[in-house]
Amino acid sequence: WRSEVTLVTALIFVLVLLATGCRQRSTGANAAKAANASASVAATRSGHESAVADASRFCVEHLVVEPAESPTIGLPTPATSTLRSAIAAALAGLEVVAAVDAARQPSRPDATKGGSCVRRVAHDERVGVWVKPRFVLLDADGAPQPARAQLAAGTLALEVTVQVERAKATEAPDVGMRVFAASFPFTSRSAAAGVAFVEARLVRAAALAAADALGQVWIRPQSDAQIGGLLESQTTWQRVAALREVGERGGGDQLKQVHAAARESRAEVAVVAIAALGRIGTAESVAVMRSVMMAAGAEVTASILQALADLELAEARAELRSIAEQHPDRRVRQAAGRLLQR
């Protein structure tokens, strides 16, 4: 799983003070030099930061969670109301989210207008969030199981689709969408945990997908130069959003920074960087992914397999074939084999 996101915004406040100081009228030569020096520092350090708003940016006014779907009979399925409350709480814990008004009245999301969203953020920073969770039990060969009782142990595969819509006062709404997919071993202990096992993983997946979708909406208006600067941001969600946008825009000029992010110990950064390499990677990127995979967890490993499959390079194909034949984990070998057959 991805770790929780972190936040750093003090630099913006410092830069504002520097810029303000530079505008103040100086009365002597030394004061003028100091002001010019401050202006120079502010100009070089605030290029991309000037466009970065508060780390807690969006306020969720509306939250719709569809009933969880599963074709596997006998799997514990969370109640929609319980799942919605848990997802609302998880969204409130995201660094990119300032508040979740919708959490206060789960049955009436439209009745929350005038809540803390109005007091905290501008109209353009209020969003609605729609969540659709799905999950299924797979056997050792990756085939869906029609009934839980037919399998002593298997793999729980889940997919959560999240769409966010940002209100715009004068334009059409700005929409972002992400799909988060993951799989987990499902054993007798998992079954004994009951609905809590499934619910916790669906909630976490929804929160991560929402964070990505909100980042997508936030990063979209940024220029290439601003995105390049945000690749070094100490605010995790901003860096993740920039990495994903680099992959979508095809920003090969930032390949060195994406390689560095792929080596990150924080899974939520590494996974997105590796996905970007699946779009803009080179033969050197294949070597980077090979080294990362030596100590990678399940989520990063899955991202590497998908990135290798996405890269239209002979080196990537050869690496994926090597994994399918030689990786010590049978499940990883099988996953690589299935990707080779696409």
Check residues 328 and 172 and name the one with the higher pLDDT: 328
Residue 35 has pLDDT above 50, yes or no: no
Contacts by 322-328, CB closer than 8 A, 24 or more apart: 323/293
CA distances from 292 to 3, 92, 306 (A): 17, 32, 14
In DSSP terms, 186 is beta-bridged to: 154
Residue 104 has pLDDT above 70, yes or no: no
pLDDT tens string 268-279: 899 999 999 999
Q: Quick one: pLDDT at residue 38?
A: 42
Check residues 253 and 167 and name the one with the higher pLDDT: 253
Indicate left, alpha or beta for 194 from its phi (over 0: left) and psi (-120 to 50: alpha).
Answer: left
Residue 49 has pLDDT above 60, yes or no: no
CA distance 96 to 259: 24
3-state helix/strand/coil string of 27-63: CCHHHHHHHHHHHHHHHHHCCCHHHCCCCCCEEEEEE
229's CB contacts (< 8 A; 6+ apart) are 47, 48, 49
- pLDDT-derived band at 121 (thresholds 50, 70, 90) equals low
What's the whole-number average pLDDT of the chain? 79
Residue 43 has pLDDT above 50, yes or no: no
CA distance 257 to 77: 41
**Residue 268, both tokens:** 């939520």
CA distance 160 to 183: 12
Q: Tell me the DSSP string of 151-166.
A: -SSEEEEEEEEEEEEE
Check residues 4 and 308 and name the one with the higher pLDDT: 308
Residue 88 has pLDDT above 50, yes or no: yes
Cβ atoms of 82 and 199 within 8 Å: the answer is yes
Report residue 142 CA to chain centroid gap.
26
Q: Quick one: pLDDT at residue 275?
A: 94
**Residue 219, both tokens:** 């990063």
Q: Quick one: pLDDT at residue 87?
A: 95
Q: What angle do CA 194, 182, 195 make, to 5 degrees?
A: 10
pLDDT tens string 208-252: 899 989 998 989 888 888 998 999 888 888 999 999 999 988 877
Check residues 144 and 33 and name the one with the higher pLDDT: 144
- pLDDT-derived band at 115 (thresholds 50, 70, 90) equals low
Q: What is the dihedral of CA 201, 335, 249, 159, to 10 degrees?
A: -30
Residue 322 has pLDDT above 50, yes or no: yes
What percent of the chain has a predicted confidence (pLDDT) above 90?
Answer: 42
Residue 7 has pLDDT above 80, yes or no: no
Residue 67 has pLDDT above 50, yes or no: yes
3-state helix/strand/coil string of 246-309: HHHHCCHHHHHHHHHHHCCCCHHHHHHHHHHHHHHCCHHHHHHHHHHHCCCCHHHHHHHHHHHH
Q: Which helix (H) or strand (E) holds 185?
A: strand 174-186
Structure letter (DSSP) for residue 235? S
